């Protein structure tokens, strides 16, 4: 099963491992960017906080999509869901 985020033209999600790697990369880069942004403009803290919350929310959505894609790759998942 393919899970696409955002639209039919979005990124194909095939399982959790690529998502975890993507999130690890984002977690390496984002804090440095956020720190620079805060140092450059401390009065923008409220907007930066919202940006950080959005980033983590998007990462959580990607994890859920990866889990769902991996869980539904096997037809046993669909069969179990039909029984409920």
Q: Could you report the per-residue pLDDT of 30-75, keeping only the tens digit for each?
A: 999 999 999 999 999 999 999 999 999 999 999 999 999 888 887 6
Per DSSP, the residues of 12-61 read EE--HHHHHHHHHHHHHHHHHHHHHHHHH-GGGHHHHHHHHHHHHHHHHH
Place of tokens 């033209």: 9
Domain count, the chain: 1
Cα dihedral 36, 39, 45, 47 sign = negative
Q: 59: domain range?
A: 3-83
pTM equals 0.69
- Distant-in-sequence, close-in-space partners of 65: CB < 8 Å, separation ≥ 6: 3, 5, 13, 19
């Amino acid at each position: 099963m393919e899970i696409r985020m955002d639209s039919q033209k979005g990124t194909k999600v095939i399982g959790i491992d690529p998502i975890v790697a993507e999130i690890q990369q984002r977690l390496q880069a984002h804090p440095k960017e956020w720190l620079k942004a805060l140092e450059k403009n401390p009065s923008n803290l409220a907007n930066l906080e919202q940006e950080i919350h959005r980033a983590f929310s998007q990462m959580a959505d990607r994890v859920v999509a990866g889990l769902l894609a991996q869980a539904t790759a096997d037809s046993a998942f669909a069969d179990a869901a039909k029984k409920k």
